[in-house]
Amino acid sequence: MRFWLSLKRAGLPAHIGIIVIVLFAFAAVFAPWLAPYGESEVVDAVPWATPEESGTLLGLDQLGRDLYSRVLFGARNTIALAMGITILAFFMGMTAGFFAAVVGRWVDLLLSRLVDIIMAFPTLFFALIALSIFGTSIPVLVFVIATLDSTRVYRIARALAMDTNVMEYVEVARLRGEGLWWIMRREILPNTLTPLLAEFGLRFCFVFLFISSLSFLGIGIQPPAADWGAMVRENGVAITYGIFTPLVPAAAIATLTIAVNLVVDWFLRKTAGLREEY
């Protein structure tokens, strides 16, 4: 009830964001039923045929496949992949971060130094090394990006857990004789959840953009699977002929990231206000 009320008061930007996210999620889930053609079905062997020429909504791509259908399938592939990677990254990063903060000493030192080293080097280059060694397949992609991204989650989770860990209510729990697991789950987690949720939104955007960039660079999701970043790359040349096909998937990426950012922005302002209230 309170949730719906605050949602109603969230303001226009957040509402736009939420509507866009819901629409995209819908498209991703129901892509096979919404798409008029198959993921890699060639409609007409005319590259970049206009909507009028091909009788489709957005025209055809470089191989004569239906762009609209591919955008829908792309939503499915890219969003699902980004979501999976973000969840995995949070699982790894939060577990390690909480563990380091609560146990402290050498565990913390070891994990933090390791993360420092990984973070001292751009994610893109790490991904490039890893992908050039192991080749580009979905499992490699998921594992590599999730591992790299979990270092960011680790930093935040650890910092938040540290802040909570010095609170006297955690000391009370320790002195009571509570175990490590109980402290992490009942004392630390509930008090770090709100900022971590906001961070999840931001990390999702980052991962999503990152996959798109990798695909755009040709080392992410491989054809013929539809992926927005890869679609921009494949159709990139068309723009010099005045054909705006590559802008469609690029705009889809931009719209979703902006939408998530708008919601996160509202969420952060809302929770910041909450904290003052206490």
Partner 1 sequence: MGEPILKIRNLQIEGFADEQWKPIVNGIDIDLNRGEVLGLIGESGAGKSTIGIATMGYCRPGCRFVGGTIEFDGVRVDELTSAQIREVRGVGISYVAQSAAASFNPAHRLIDQYVETPVQHGVLKFQQAAKNARAMYATLDLPDPDNIGKRFPHQVSGGQLQRAMVAMAMSCEPDLIIFDEPTTALDVTTQIEVLAAIKDIVHRFNTAAIYITHDLAVVVQLADRIMVLRYGDLVEESKTHEILNNPKEDYTRDLLAVRTFRKNSEDLVSGPVPLIDINNLHASYGGEIKVLEDINLSVEKGRTVAIVGESGSGKSTLARAMTGLLPPSQGTVKYSGIELPKSYKERTKDQLRQMQMIYQMPDVALNPRQKLREVIGRPLGFYFGIDGGERDRRVKELLEMIELPTNYIDRFTPELSGGQKQRVCIARALAAQPAVIICDEVTSALDQLVAEEILKLLDRLQKELEMTYLFITHDLATVKAIADEIVVMLRGRIVESGLKDEVLTPPHHEYTELLLSSVPEMDPHWLDRLLESRATVN
Partner 2 sequence: MGLTRLIANRIAFGLITLIVITLLISLALEALPGDFAEQRLGQSATPETIAAIRAQLGLNEPILVRYWQWLSNFLQGDMGISLSNSRPVSELLATRLGNTLFLAGASAIVAVPLALFLGILAALYRESLLDKLISTSTLAAISLPEFFIGYILVALFAVNWQIFPAISSISDNMTLGEKIYASLLPIATLTFVIVAHMMRMTRAAIINLMQSPFIEMATLKGLKRGRIVVHHALPNALSPIINVIVLNLAYLVVGVVVVEVVFIYPGLGLLMVDSVTSRDLPIVQACILIFGATYISLNMLADILSIISNPRLRHPR
> Quick check: 12 binds partner 2 (CB under 8 A)?
no
Q: Which does 7 bind (CB under 5 to 8 A by kind): partner 2, partner 1, none?
A: none
> Quick check: 258 binds partner 2 (CB under 8 A)?
yes
Q: Compute the distance between CA of residue 262 and CA of residue 16 in angstroms, rounded to an integer.
A: 8
Q: Which does 179 bind (CB under 5 to 8 A by kind): partner 2, partner 1, none?
A: none
Backbone angles phi, psi at 266, to 5 degrees: -65, -45
| Contact flags string 136-175 toward partner 1, x per CB under 8 A | -------------------------------xxx-xx-xx
By CB under 8 A, name the one of 217, 223, 268, 270 that touches partner 2: 217
| Contact flags string 99-138 toward partner 2, x per CB under 8 A | -----------------xx--xxxxxx--xx-xxxxx---
Using only the alpha carbons of the chain, give its radius of gyration.
22
At its nearest, how many Å lie between partner 1 and the CB of residue 170?
A: 8
HSE (side-chain half, CA atoms, 13 Å) at 172: 7
Q: Compute the distance between CA of residue 188 and CA of residue 165 in angstroms, rounded to an integer.
A: 7
DSSP sequence for 190-250: HHHHHHHHHHHHHHHHHHHHHHHHHHHTTSSSPTTS--HHHHHHHHGGGGGGT--TTHHHH
Locate 246 and state its tokens: 């590559």
Q: Compute the distance between CA of residue 114 and CA of residue 135 in angstroms, rounded to an integer.
A: 24
Of 86 and 165, nearer to partner 2 (C-beta) is 86
> Quick one: which segment of 67-75, 77-85, 147-155, 256-264 binds partner 2 (CB under 8 A)?
256-264
Can you give the binding site for partner 1, defined by CB under 8 A?
167-169, 171-172, 174-178, 186-187, 190-191, 273, 276-278
